[in-house]
Amino acid sequence: MFAVTILGNNSAVPAFNRHPTSQVVTYEGTNFLVDCGEGTQIQMINYKIRRGKISHIFISHLHGDHYFGLIGLINSFGLLSHKQDLHIFGPPALKEIIEIQLKMAETHLPYALHIHAITGPGLLVETDKMRIECFRTNHRIECFGFKFTEKRAARKILADKAREMQVPLAFFDHLKTGADYHRKDGFLVKNEEVTLPGEKGRSYAFCADTKYDETLLEHISGLDMIYHETTYLDNFRERAEARFHSTTRQAATMALKAGVKRLLIGHFSSKYDTLEEFEKEAREVFPNTDLALEGTVYTIH
Amino acid sequence: MFAVTILGNNSAVPAFNRHPTSQVVTYEGTNFLVDCGEGTQIQMINYKIRRGKISHIFISHLHGDHYFGLIGLINSFGLLSHKQDLHIFGPPALKEIIEIQLKMAETHLPYALHIHAITGPGLLVETDKMRIECFRTNHRIECFGFKFTEKRAARKILADKAREMQVPLAFFDHLKTGADYHRKDGFLVKNEEVTLPGEKGRSYAFCADTKYDETLLEHISGLDMIYHETTYLDNFRERAEARFHSTTRQAATMALKAGVKRLLIGHFSSKYDTLEEFEKEAREVFPNTDLALEGTVYTIH
């Protein structure tokens, strides 16, 4: 399973039972947490997210509605006897902010906490099945989005053809990764002669807080799903611009230009008590849009 | 009105829909916030506490379950265009913890934020009607309790007697404060001859986190109401001692020895899913005990 569960979909101040930004990206039993607004640990309890399965946390930027819940989560992991290493990726100052609070409480965590500074765009984490990269968005302070890309599946071996060309069984695993085979007789068996490409991996990007900025397109084009903020409805385009945020139509235009398959919208301003208009306006531009609703799981196909 | 509203009654990790420590002491339209665990601002919304009425916040110590919600509250006050000065009293390191977070977000608050370091016991705030003092408790890290004392009401004037002794009306306000009157003919009218004592002011103390320690008695004796923590039931007395916390019977014994009128108990460990036993055990020692329940208002008589 590759899916996103929304824990908080509101901006700035909690309102109308909506919480500040946080979401969990689940991939085959591992939970990656993206942003961690105040109360995220309580939302995890509410929505039965297994905290023990979280090994990585990504913080987009240091506005409080995106990370004020992090210190509480780190602390609770300690009290709950979490053992697994915890890796946090975020702005350079995050390490100092967390460490001073742990120090003043004389907290000794029972697990290894690694706080990694994000200093520019690039690869953050690579596992055998997934790559997680960050890219700059356009916000009032430095801010990064995160892209989760499932690696292309292994190449499919045309077994009859491979045997015919005298590739030994022991080399089949290498064929899956794209390797050519050098026969003892000097003949070169090219990989593409005996395999077919694997399926393309699925992909998701969290575009964090940002004003409308087409430089994001190079990072999100063609993805299966993106989350893009829509702090305001489209009649507040000027305020959005001034505050480095986006509107419904801007997010939907970004999804359309990027040619993604599906758009999630969130980070709603506390001035709105209902969200129907957000869905309506975005869908007029990009029909396959959904509201990021708290407690809801969105699967990436 | 002089009352306490509980916003969070749990210790350490949120559990069973109980939240970390926070309570509001309301005195004639002013709200004093005592401790501010994660999610306090959301609890304020849930229980309709008027955030704009909060002018002072007191933080007992730097364990996270007592202050991780403070930065979010400060930030939200800014976003909600709070104008009134906000005074925060807490451990010396609190100022650095708050300021680094405001700085990294490039936050400019629209109100004056004063963070006062508590460096020892004594008077923190005095208004014309109330004194707020702090006193040391016995916890793993430095920790203070807070005592709210309504000043003794003005002395009552025996008007006939005062006129008979030729005290002019213009001096009656001075009589209320206890002053003697010097007549022009050289005669001294002693205050107690023409007034009666005012009523004793009401009082409340929040005893913060603490192990059982009778040195607290000098600060809480004879008060109308105290809050004392009961992290554990009495069969966990050893664990309570080791972790610098108290049990039900210890809190109730403290109330009994202090001769207070009423005891509130809270800071329940996350290991307990129900609280009936806490009430039962404490009442066996001190009958006028109540559980500090979230959203409930306890009036000080």
- pLDDT tier, A161 (very low <50, low <70, confident <90, very high otherwise): very high
Low-confidence ranges of chain B (pLDDT < 70): none
* Mean pLDDT value across residues A289-298: 98
Chain A residue with Cα closest to B68: A72
- Please check whether residues A41 and A22 belong to one and the same domain: yes
Closest CA to A19 of B299, B122, B42: B42
Is pLDDT of A153 > 80?
no
Q: Which residue has the higher pLDDT, A283 or B16?
A: A283
- Please check whether residues B162 and B146 belong to one and the same domain: no
CA distance A282 to chain B (A): 27
How far apart are the C-alpha atoms of B5 and B8, rounded to whole Å? 9
Q: CA Rg, chain A, in Å?
A: 22
Residue pointed to by tokens 């050289």? B186
Q: Determine the pLDDT at residue B199.
A: 83
Catalytic site positions of B = 65
H or E segment and range at residue B253: helix B248-258
Q: Which residue has the higher pLDDT, B51 or A74?
A: A74
* Residues of chain A contacting B45 with CB distance shorter than 8 Å: 14-15
Q: How many CB pairs under 8 A join A and B?
A: 92
pTM: 0.87
Which DSSP string do the residues of A87-144 spell out, in sequence order? Answer: EEEE-TTHHHHHHHHHHHTT---SS-EEEEEP-SSEEEEE-SSEEEEEEE---SS--E
Residue pointed to by tokens 């969070």? B8
Q: Taking CB atoms and an 8 Å limit, are A100 and B97 in contact across chains?
A: yes
- Please check whether residues A176 and A233 belong to one and the same domain: no
H or E segment and range at residue A32: strand A30-36
- Please check whether residues B142 and B186 belong to one and the same domain: no
CA distance A42 to chain B (A): 7
Q: Taking CB atoms and an 8 Å limit, are A14 and B140 in contact across chains?
A: no
Chain B residue with Cα closest to A81: B13
CB B242 within 8 A of CB B190: no
- Please check whether residues A21 and A162 belong to one and the same domain: no
Tokens of A188: 């070169």
Phi, psi of A264 (to 5 degrees): -105, 135
Question: Which residues are within 8 A (CB) of B57 and not within 5 positions of it... i.e. 6 or more apart?
Answer: B32, B33, B34, B36, B70, B73, B86, B87, B88, B89, B90
Q: What is the mean pLDDT of chain A?
A: 95
CB A33 within 8 A of CB A14: no
* Residues of chain A contacting B39 with CB distance shorter than 8 Å: 38-39, 42
What range does the domain containing B248 cover?
Answer: 2-150+206-299
- Please check whether residues A59 and A175 belong to one and the same domain: no
Q: Assess if residue B201 is contained within a domain.
A: no
Domain final residue, candidates B196, B218, B251? B196
How many domains does one find in chain A?
2
CATH number at residue A121: 3.60.15.10
Q: ∠ CA(B33), CA(A75), CA(A125), 5° rounding?
A: 130
* Residues of chain B contacting A68 with CB distance shorter than 8 Å: 38, 68, 71-72, 75
Q: Taking CB atoms and an 8 Å limit, are B64 and A41 in contact across chains?
A: no
Q: Assess if residue B23 is contained within a domain.
A: yes
How far apart are the C-alpha atoms of B292 and B289, rounded to whole Å? 9
Q: Taking CB atoms and an 8 Å limit, are B80 and A13 in contact across chains?
A: yes
Q: Determine the pLDDT at residue B287.
A: 98
- pLDDT tier, A244 (very low <50, low <70, confident <90, very high otherwise): very high
Q: Collect all residues from B whose CB is shorter than 8 A from any CB in A.
A: 12-15, 19, 38-39, 41-42, 45, 62-65, 68-69, 71-72, 75-76, 79-80, 91, 93, 96-97, 100-101, 104-107, 140-141
Q: Which residue has the higher pLDDT, A59 or A52?
A: A59
Domain final residue, candidates B139, B168, B196? B196
- Please check whether residues A162 and A90 belong to one and the same domain: no
CA distance A76 to chain B (A): 6
Q: Taking CB atoms and an 8 Å limit, are A97 and B101 in contact across chains?
A: yes
- Please check whether residues B118 and B102 belong to one and the same domain: yes
Q: Determine the pLDDT at residue A21.
A: 97
- Please check whether residues B220 and B248 belong to one and the same domain: yes
Neighbours of B27 (CB within 10 A): 19
Neighbours of B153 (CB within 10 A): 13
Question: Which residues are within 8 A (CB) of A63 and not within 5 positions of it... i.e. 6 or more apart?
Answer: A140, A141, A209, B105
Q: Determine the pLDDT at residue A52.
A: 79
Q: Taking CB atoms and an 8 Å limit, are B12 and A39 in contact across chains?
A: no
- Please check whether residues A167 and A273 belong to one and the same domain: no
Chain B residue with Cα closest to A62: B105
Strands (E), B166-279: 181-182, 188-189, 195-196, 203-206, 225-229, 262-266
Pairing of strands B54-58, B86-90: parallel
Chain B residue with Cα closest to A104: B62
* Mean pLDDT value across residues A128-144: 96
Q: ∠ CA(A12), CA(A18), CA(A24), 5° rounding?
A: 90
- Please check whether residues B49 and B86 belong to one and the same domain: yes
CA distance B103 to chain A (A): 10
CA distance B71 to chain A (A): 7
ipTM for the predicted complex comes to: 0.84
CA distance A105 to chain B (A): 5
Domain final residue, candidates A168, A196, A224? A196
How far apart are the C-alpha atoms of B126 and B150, rounded to whole Å? 10
* Residues of chain A contacting B139 with CB distance shorter than 8 Å: none
Residue B254: Cβ-neighbour burial (10 angstroms; 0-12, 13-18, 19+): buried
Q: Determine the pLDDT at residue B153.
A: 77
How far apart are the C-alpha atoms of B170 and B183, rounded to whole Å? 13
CB A148 within 8 A of CB A132: yes
CB A47 within 8 A of CB A65: no
Amino acid occupying residue B17: N
Q: Taking CB atoms and an 8 Å limit, are B45 and A15 in contact across chains?
A: yes
Is pLDDT of A104 > 90?
yes
* Residues of chain B contacting A107 with CB distance shorter than 8 Å: 64
* Mean pLDDT value across residues A164-179: 92
Residue A164: Cβ-neighbour burial (10 angstroms; 0-12, 13-18, 19+): exposed
Percent of chain A having pLDDT more than 90?
Answer: 89
- Please check whether residues A134 and A223 belong to one and the same domain: yes
Amino acid occupying residue B9: N
* Residues of chain A contacting B80 with CB distance shorter than 8 Å: 13
